[in-house]
Structure 1
């Protein structure tokens, strides 16, 4: 049995519509026949990351991922860290959605909650062709009258919290400079994999 979106879009709040728009853009790119060829992998993923960038608050996510270490960073270090972190997180999210074989009809918008402090949660469920459904929850905050995603949890695992645990361990055992070096190596490895798949 397949899942469908709520038929009455007017019943959904602004945060859910923001998530719906983001997901639909990503799925449109995944469904584009011109981008399905193996040699188009890098271009396809680049377009997906561009779509995600418009709706994700990466500075907020980077700050949360660094936790207590964020306030110790200089302005220059923050300017270095945010785009590096953004690229890694985009790739992590995109690869998970890509691997889910999601379509617009396979996504159910399960729950939306909005509080008075300007925070919201939108819970979705994805069912792939193998009937393996999994939950993706988006957490948003309202800044300058616009809703932005500040965390994504897949099957209960927060991407931001996961990164925070890794970053904290590396910084405590070594240094911020070591963390940046490892992040750059990881990013180059993922870019190389895109090239191989292309």
Structure 2
């Protein structure tokens, strides 16, 4: 009886210590927030938009090109396309998927 009680107490302590350790160490291992992940991309886009060299009407296409270049580095348009279309995406053939991603990227 006493041995079973000691065993239960020992197991309870092990579970508590493991849980506490997981809780303490998981805080430092948590991934950055989505905003933190997107921050470099968003900052780059804002910088391109606010850049006086791109502000003139004749540089509008150049500004759009710069913004899209930054967007391609920071966003996964293929995955976003899958999420936008949902179940419909599965019904598309490879050529249709590629075409949709291309159009979606240009938005």
Q: How many residues align?
A: 77
Q: Give the corresponding residue for 1:22.
A: 41
Could you tell me which runs of 5 or more consecutive residues in structure 2 were left unpaired when the two chains were aligned.
1-30
- Alignment map for 1:56-135 (pairs within 5 Å): 56-88=75-107
Deviations 1:148-197 (A, max 9, x none): xxxxxxxxxxxxxxxxxxxxxxxxxxxxxxxxxxxxxxxxxxxxxxxxxx
- Alignment map for 1:33-52 (pairs within 5 Å): 33-52=52-71
Q: Which secondary structure does the structure 1 equivalent of 2:74 belong to? A: coil
Picking from 17, 29, 32, the partner of 2:51 is: 32
What's the RMSD between the two structures over aligned residues? 1.8
Pairing 1:13–2:32 present: yes
TM-score normalised by the chain length of structure 2: 0.63
**Whose strand fraction is larger, Structure 1's or Structure 2's?**
1
Between the aligned partners of 1:65 and 1:15, the Cα distance in structure 2 is: 18
Between the aligned partners of 1:66 and 1:15, the Cα distance in structure 2 is: 22
Residues 43, 75 of structure 1: alpha-carbon distance in 2 compared, 3 angstrom cutoff = same
Rg (Cα) greater in structure: 2
Q: Which has the higher contact order (CA 8 A, sep 6+)?
A: 1
The CA deviation at 1:14 is 6.0
**Whose helix fraction is larger, Structure 1's or Structure 2's?**
2
Q: Which secondary structure does the structure 1 equivalent of 2:53 belong to? A: helix
Could you tell me which runs of 5 or more consecutive residues in structure 1 were left unpaired when the two chains were aligned.
1-11, 89-198
The CA deviation at 1:38 is 1.2
